[in-house]
Amino acid sequence: MSKVLTILGSINADHVISVPHFARPGETLTGSQYHIAYGGKGANQAVAAARLTDFSLGNKVNFIGCIGSDEIGRAMKKAFEQDGLDVSAVNEIAGETTGVAMIQVAESGENSIVISAGANGALTAEVVAQHEDKIRQADYLLMQLETPLDAILAAAKLAQSQGTKVVLNPAPARPLSDELLGLLDIITPNETETEILTGIQVKDEQSAVLAAQVFHQKGIETVLITLGSKGVYISQQQSGKIEGQIISGFRVNAVDTTAAGDTFNGAFLTALLEERSLFDAIRFAHAAAAISVTCKGAQPSIPSRLETDNFLARQ
């Protein structure tokens, strides 16, 4: 039986420049390899899900977002459609520019990002209401935090009322209400986001266990804490019992970590849509994310289903 994933989130034009290291206050650096790439956490996750979905199974990926009334926004919407996304809920906002992200990529492969929301700020609860059917019909709703919280909360409430599982990648890091957290089925924070939301600094498996327990106490059944090169700590609460473990990732030579987390989230939901086990879904997501860090850029680095399956077959 075919399944539906709906992603609600941001759309940005990424202005990327390579630097020897991140600029310090008052420092001027000489950069190189400047280019514009398509990005935004919502768009990255939607593109990852679309590229990694086996559409022959009948599964569908919807995207709810906002672009500006400019050529780059329209070009991005067209590119999303070419990747297989249903973009009928991507709204063009008159008088606004498409969101912008200024990204420095250091020689170490790490990145530093500054964002101007633009049209993403227009993704309100009213826009969510216009596209309720995309959430009602979905098996999973995936969201992040680069768009207004009122829309995220409204979408989560609607999804829960319809039996749609709600997944939140709480990035960029910010405090969240217990009301929103209580509506989630799955949360996928990194160590920084986990500390902000639980007050627990995650340094090892023991501290990850404690942090996951805080999320469970707030009503979240499944917790995935991403631990960088160490992998993912997965904790699941069912029938009052909690089970957790670290699932290691794959070692590769990182060139650019931009969108690695977004690729992981999109891939993870794609695998869940195919009713894979949590272990297999995380392993599939690890593979897609590993491939993404070996290439530069956000959406340009997101692999296809074939690339990811072939990578896994070699492990």
Q: Is 109 annotated as a binding residue?
A: no
Q: Is 301 annotated as a binding residue?
A: yes
Q: Is 120 annotated as a binding residue?
A: no
Q: Is 41 annotated as a binding residue?
A: yes
Which residues lie across from 224 on neighbouring strands? 234
Give me the helices (H) in 199-232, please.
205-217
Report phi then psi at 203, rounded to 5.
-120, -20
Pairing assessment for the beta strands 186-187 and 222-226 based on DSSP bridges = parallel
Q: Is 309 annotated as a binding residue?
A: no
CB 151 within 8 A of CB 143: no
Q: Is 185 annotated as a binding residue?
A: no
Would you name the residues annotated as active-site residues? 262
Residue in 80, 81, 50 with CA at minimum distance from that of residue 267: 50
Q: Is 13 annotated as a binding residue?
A: yes
In angstroms, the CA 223 to CA 213 distance is: 9
In angstroms, the CA 122 to CA 70 distance is: 15
Q: Is 117 annotated as a binding residue?
A: no
In Å, how far are 5, 36, 60, 92 from 284, measured between CA atoms? 17, 29, 19, 34
* Cα torsion 128, 134, 140, 144: sign: negative
What 3-state class would DSSP assign to 67?
Answer: strand
Q: Is 219 annotated as a binding residue?
A: no
Q: Is 14 annotated as a binding residue?
A: yes
Q: Is 231 annotated as a binding residue?
A: yes
Q: Is 229 annotated as a binding residue?
A: yes
What 3-state class would DSSP assign to 85?
Answer: coil
- Residue list, annotated binding site for substrate: 12-14, 40-44, 146, 262
- Residue list, annotated binding site for ATP: 190, 226-231, 261-262, 286
- Residue list, annotated binding site: 12-14, 40-44, 146, 190, 226-231, 256, 258, 261-262, 286, 292, 295, 297, 301
- Residue list, annotated binding site for K(+): 256, 258, 292, 295, 297, 301
